[in-house]
Amino acid sequence: MFGQNQNGGFRIPPTLIVAVVMAGFAVCKYYGQSSVNEITGETQHISISPEQEIAMGVQSAPQMAHEMGGISRNQQAADIVKKVGQKVVQTSAAAHTPYKYDFHLLADQQTINAFALPGGQIFITEGLLLRLTTDRKTLNEDMLAGVLGHEVGHVVARHSAEKLAQMELAQGITGAVTMATYDPTNPNSGYIAQSVANMIQLKYGRSQELQSDNLGVRFMIEAGYDPAYLIGVMEILKQAAGPNRTPEFQSSHPDPENRKEAIQAAIQEWRGKLGK
């Protein structure tokens, strides 16, 4: 807090000066690194190169696969995942990016999930793949294209790299806030600063998910798949989440119902832009 010195003037606590310097450095570093994404047209604040993203993804892929039960032994299903994934990439705007896309089927049949690592390593679990059917028997490749197109969207939009930069900014600001507001008599003061940073990150996560849905619709249309089936994927996710879903403001993913509305809007948008 502010106080008075012996001469009656105001004295600024040294911790506050340090906090201001820390926050200023974090903000300057974040906004001082920018590049324009050629696919989305957005100016992004990112500190690593596409080559570094690719290296990070390749290095992380084996460990991620291990944590999800390893790579599936169902070679036929794995081949379909690779075939559909590569079609989504090679016949869409994603083909004009520098990333090295590879698609993996994970053996985990309990977890309903798909995710992308930086640089193009994309995974889907057997648990989700087995649900991508319209008659409970036959795999619906349009649904699969929707899932994989969404994950390709994360890669193209450089969401992982963007997230890293945002986390660095949040950590810098959190450290500054903690320094400025720390009260040894109130142990919750540091916790409050961290909670604020966490909520900021959740907001970014929801925004990125919606953007990936939008890009997924675009890639599906460009690749000749029916984007309406991505809405069917949202129904699957809604059923998997169950009635006790975490409130949206506490979740990194938007509610499936909200995503369905955004996907419907994206279908009209991209059909108009692409003339398909």
d(CA 99, CA 118): 9
Q: Is residue 12 part of a domain?
A: no
Q: What pLDDT digit, counting tens, does each position of 125-148 carry?
A: 999 999 998 777 789 999 999 999
Tell me what percent of the residues of the chain surpass a pLDDT of 90.
Answer: 56
Range picked from 3-12, 64-73, 81-90 for highest mean pLDDT: 81-90
Over residues 219-223, mean pLDDT: 98
* In-domain check, residue 28: no
Give 176's pLDDT tier (boundaries 50, 70, 90): low
In a domain? residue 4 = no
**What total of structural domains would you count in the chain?**
1
Residue 246: inside a domain: yes
Structural domain including 63 reads 35-274
8, part of any domain: no
Terminal Cα distance for the chain, rounded: 62
Region for residue 224 given its phi and psi (left: phi exceeds 0; alpha: psi -120 to 50; beta: otherwise): left
Compute CA distances 29 → 16, 33, 230, whole Å.
20, 7, 38
Task: List, in sequence order, every residue forming a beta bridge with 104; answer none if it has no partner.
Answer: 123
Domain membership flag for residue 13: no
DSSP-assigned states of every residue in 188-241: THHHHHHHHHHHHHHHHHHHHHHHHHHHHHHHHHHHT--TTHHHHHHHHHHHHH
In a domain, 169, yes or no: yes
In a domain, 51, yes or no: yes
Check if the beta carbon of residue 29 is closer than 8 Å to that of residue 167.
Answer: no
Portion of the chain with pLDDT greater than 70, in percent? 71
Please provide the average confidence, as pLDDT, over all residues in the chain.
Answer: 82
